[in-house]
A and B are shown apart, each in its own frame.
Chain A
């Protein structure tokens, strides 16, 4: 049990900005007024992308039946892609009454025999945590039986939010994988990418640039990841946290244990990508590397600007209203600005204080930070003459009523908007939205309403 994370400790992360104001924003959902996923979802999000490891979910069908093969986390793994496979004990009433422990061991044996994974992650869920199935012990026994890491992930949904779950996932990786194997070789420019899950191939937008600079991605948590690599993560020179507040505590602990400093950045939009690349080079502290990075950034920005030029002509004078939450409130806003679109308002109702500050900086004094976007956005579209509403599906009707273009920012995206080239994808999609006559035609009154 020594490795079991203390939930209280994880909730009280001193590296978290919002903790200074002593607000426990990550805690206690309200019955009947809660949105957002649970700890189990967060844990599997942070660990699923290891294509050489099998995720075994010990629980009833809702947990995994709804959630496997839901994220487009690309992998270059040549073997059977276990990120897109589902394994669950699908417990029944017998298991609830008499324990499901036998099922776990048998399932692990089955998976190892058939799929030969490098590791198995065993997730507990609400029901199996409540009945007290001992996944720690079963994993320990299975690890001895099969001689590969078996990682218990204590992530029952009822302990908290998705964010907390991601932390629990990170803790499990830290406790059972990091530092359990030595890399074949090390370089002065080895980094770990933390919190980058490579959804729609986001990280492949910038990893070739890192490679060109001689920066080696030693391991990831967990985009295009391998268990064999995360085991060597303790030898990296730098932890790079990509858009993931949830994994700050993991990075802090790796700093304490292995002396690996960390930086936090985003690869969304031109400016952030450039800033991010430079920040990595500076953190690695090599003068020549910094010089080469600056050169590369200049080259890439030039290339991008050339390709963006026709889009910028098209977007000139266009205005957008953005209604989303979290870090998207400012990161998408910044990317839109990179395209030459003016962001007249962004919703900050579902954003932390830190995100609100960044949103204010991104939008400038003129931009509106909406605290009640459901009511405000329609009015703001009228007042500002906005051409485009970026929001979740619920707001579609607002756009139709106002006869302006709509883009669903919450929809599971199909292509990457990350890095320099991702910005071109975003530009193309938004151009298509703005040129599409559908929003105006759909808004026609029915003949019998005239």
Chain B
């Protein structure tokens, strides 16, 4: 744990990798089956977001815009544009839910979107996500929390086998699936909210992009209240778990800052053993733990002599830094998009809230960059090793199937990091 610099003297972002709050909300709604995310703002926000995710996932993306114009921005309080949007959307498709989320434009003038949504007779969740506040992680978390508050019915009993998983925004679809399966192996019926593992996992489907094609069903969300357990992964998701507990005070909550590396996965297993009373995990889990131990030892030599830059959302930073640290990798610099309670705990020499210009300024301190697509140009110019993680990755295909979590994904990640690092050392 090193120095943490939160206050920026820079008046601007240069080569930013921070993403906006409404985009996080969009992604959260795409983890709900047959949902239409509706972004309330100018048409460009939606268009940019659509293209952004389409290129990252190589999949068509469902999203609509309330298309606020200059005149409407001044004259309308959201009534016209939101009501019209719902009318026009439902004329063409039949969503199970419309996920209304705002941008900076309507927030600046103070549209009462909850009030408007209440007047509309259609299943809707409304959430305020101005893009001049927070970031990608908080947008996802706010949308998730809004779904819990506005959809989940209060319950007075619990179903001990039912478990709710609340994954943070940076977990890729396959990672959500792996965590669900892992916990499911202990006899739980696991429901993830949001659930990208069946919507944006990159599957061939017929009716593409009219609505989200997969994810947790709205009916399933409504009845999450009787779950015996809720697990939040990532500090950004803690509030969502608390909101869910308010629907049923008997629900127990376990929080994990991340699920990467041996120790974090061990603590998940310990919790699951304690909750179930099982004496040991399912066989494949034990097998994968042995493999991760071996992976750590196999990769420690290369990692032990390498210095890393990690640029990511806070919850993902926590996992990546821990994972590298445990096998001897030195994280010289961790750059976060926004402030977070995670930053204090990061296993890194230096932690800053910043941009990729900051990364470039400190290029002498590391040999391998871990970050999103925008790191590529820098890595190329400065002859650095590069591991692409986070949104967006427009350079590679297969993003939704990249797995870094638990014993299994932890092994893959360490091998990739070690191979990239030794490739850099040999140059």
Contact = CB atoms under 8 A, between A and B. Distances in A.
Interface of A: 28-41, 56, 59-70, 84-93, 95-96, 102-103, 106-107, 110-111, 126-127, 129-131, 156-162, 392-394, 396-397, 400, 412, 442
Contacts of B72: 158
Contact of A92 (B41, B66, B133): B133
Contact of B23 (A41, A66, A127, A442): A66
Given A106-B11, A107-B11, A130-B105, A158 B68 contact: yes
Given A86-B14, A86-B16, A394-B208, A61 B135 contact: yes
Interface stretch (B83-91, B144-152, B344-352, B404-412): B83-91
A89 B105 CA distance: 16
6 A-B pairs with the lowest CB-CB distances in the bound complex, closest first? A38-B44, A32-B85, A32-B88, A157-B44, A106-B11, A157-B42
A41 B44 contact: yes
Contacts of A126: 41-42, 44, 68, 73, 103-105
A88 B12 contact: yes
Given A39-B44, A126-B42, A32 B108 contact: no
B89 to A, nearest CB: 5
Interface of B: 10-23, 38, 41-52, 54-55, 58-60, 64-70, 72-73, 80-82, 84-89, 92, 103-105, 108-109, 130-133, 135, 204-206, 208-209, 373-374, 377, 394
Given A60-B132, A127-B132, A397-B204, A30 B84 contact: yes
Contact of B18 (A31, A61, A397): A61
A88 B65 contact: no
Contact of A393 (B59, B65, B82): B59
Nearest to A410: B54
Contacts of A87: 12-14
A60 B130 contact: yes
Contact of B131 (A38, A61, A70, A86): A61
B38 to A, nearest CB: 7
For B52, B67, B80, the residue with the greatest tally of chain A CB atoms inside 10 Å of its CB is B67
Nearest to B209: A394
Contacts of A29: 43, 65, 67, 69
B84 A158 contact: no
Given A103-B11, A393-B54, A131 B48 contact: no
Contacts of A88: 12-13, 16
B124 to A, nearest CB: 12
Given A31-B84, A88-B12, A60 B104 contact: yes
B88 A90 contact: no
Contacts of B50: 35
Q: Interface centre among A32, A88, A91, A157, by most B CB within 10 Å?
A: A32
28 contacts: A31-B65, A31-B84, A31-B85, A31-B88, A32-B66, A32-B86, A32-B87, A32-B88, A35-B50, A37-B44, A39-B44, A59-B104, A60-B130, A61-B20, A62-B22, A62-B104, A66-B23, A66-B51, A69-B374, A87-B14, A91-B132, A92-B133, A93-B130, A110-B11, A111-B14, A126-B42, A159-B69, A394-B209
Kindly name the residue among A33, A64, A68, A95 whose own CB sees the greatest number of chain B CB atoms within 10 A.
Answer: A33
Nearest to A88: B13
